[in-house]
Structure 1
């Protein structure tokens, strides 16, 4: 028998006050890069989510008093998961942007066959895409991007308080259109290197028409690869400005998603 002070209403209030923020925080940590990859064990993510919940709960608006076994409680739970996954997806798109750009450049310069296993996601990716992933991960941590990401995420508890209303249809459509931003930005980033390799390929095509006896595959492939590596070396000098612009756009999108 429970004491009279610990009734069902009080226990339900405690559970709702901590459980719904936990769903949002755990969903966010499950999706975002670095913390949501296979390199971080599930127990570590769960412990981090519990610790963040304990710290965040005193700073967020009061949780609505709703029965934990009602239909409204199920809707609120799904809304918290959707908000956490949506904000995490917006941050994941920043990583996938550079992965797609690296794959575009690698395919054009002939490095598409050189692939390796990505330990974070467990899939095969081009070597250049893996180099880009490591680079942006180090830049993100060095520039305290993870602290900014958590700050923007915690703001969602004020702009999108726990309740029956969440992202809504407009927020879901914004997340869907974010995929087009990811591909467009990746194409803009890879366009200089792809154009340089394309010019080399066109030049060898003209040379083949002028001298048909030339073995274009034996001569053009290594030269195209060298020009592609040179283009990557030149473009790497502007890697940090590109990352700053795309990271700023990502954080601004995460804030717009909460409105």
Structure 2
């Protein structure tokens, strides 16, 4: 009778580590990044997608450390992978939220702050212009293959930040903080529209002072909405031209994060 295949604990631990540890990092990225990490994508689909990506990239990854399932070191390695993946996803999330906040500022300035709708990606009520900017940025990001660059950075992270190499979380958090300039840059994109709407509001204030008999509530609000839509249409082309360099810089910051030791 042929003998059964004998497997040692070391072999089983190596096989499990070569698949399970990368899976936690990949899943953490997909659970926190925009587009894939939203409520529009069911958690089960994200899990299946994480499994598929891990199966594809596992053969090309560096050797994983030996893991004992009931050891505290295994839990620490799992926590390390979740932290790295979550920070990568959060950094990209900050970039997307810059345009959401910019859209909300424009909505309030043009008098459409009361026109809110449920954001299906985050499950909260946002201004209509903010939701429009969210869909626009998502389509632009997918059109320039930004999601493929994110997956490339994720695979590269297993070489620059190997599993069990001891990640400096403070340095990673500092790099995440550098995305603050991306937030400021996103707000600067709508500065011309906000400035023009501010001039319109000041003009209406002067008209109200000069002719108090005019009912500016019945005239000013509709006219501000119309002028706001026109100003937004005129400045939208410049915002679209500025999006690719901002997205490229945000992705470059993600690449620097995975090179932090």
TM superposition score category, shorter chain reference:
over 0.9
* Gaps in structure 2 of 5+ consecutive residues: none
- Paired residue total: 257
**Contact 2:26 2:50 survives alignment (8 Å):** yes
Q: Deviations over 1:20-73 (max 9, x none)?
A: 100000000101111111111212111111111111111111111243322222
TM-score by length of 1: 0.93
Q: Could you tell me how far apart the structure 2 residues matched to 1:232 and 1:210 are?
A: 28
TM-score by length of 2: 0.93
Q: Could you tell me how far apart the structure 2 residues matched to 1:62 and 1:135 are?
A: 41
- Is 1:206 matched with 2:206? yes
* Gaps in structure 1 of 5+ consecutive residues: none
Determine helix, strand or coil for the equivalent of 2:97: helix
* 100-109 vs 168-177, greater mean Cα deviation: 168-177
TM superposition shift of 1:213: 2.1
1:64 paired residue number: 65
**Contact 1:79 1:164 survives alignment (8 Å):** no
Write the mapping of 1:53-202 to structure 2, written as runs, cut at 5 A: 53-178=54-179, 180-202=180-202
Q: Could you tell me how far apart the structure 2 residues matched to 1:3 and 1:76 are?
A: 32
Runs of 4 or more consecutive aligned structure 1 residues displaced over 6 Å after TM superposition: none
TM superposition shift of 1:221: 1.4
2:248 paired residue number: 248
**Contact 2:189 2:239 survives alignment (8 Å):** no
Q: Deviations over 1:133-188 (max 9, x none)?
A: 1112222222222111111121111111111412421111222453x335412320
**Contact 2:109 2:197 survives alignment (8 Å):** yes
**Contact 2:182 2:250 survives alignment (8 Å):** no
Q: Could you tell me how far apart the structure 2 residues matched to 1:182 and 1:248 are?
A: 11
Please tell me the root mean square deviation across aligned C-alpha atoms, in Å.
1.7
TM superposition shift of 1:131: 1.1
1:7 paired residue number: 8
**Contact 2:94 2:183 survives alignment (8 Å):** no
**Contact 1:20 1:77 survives alignment (8 Å):** yes
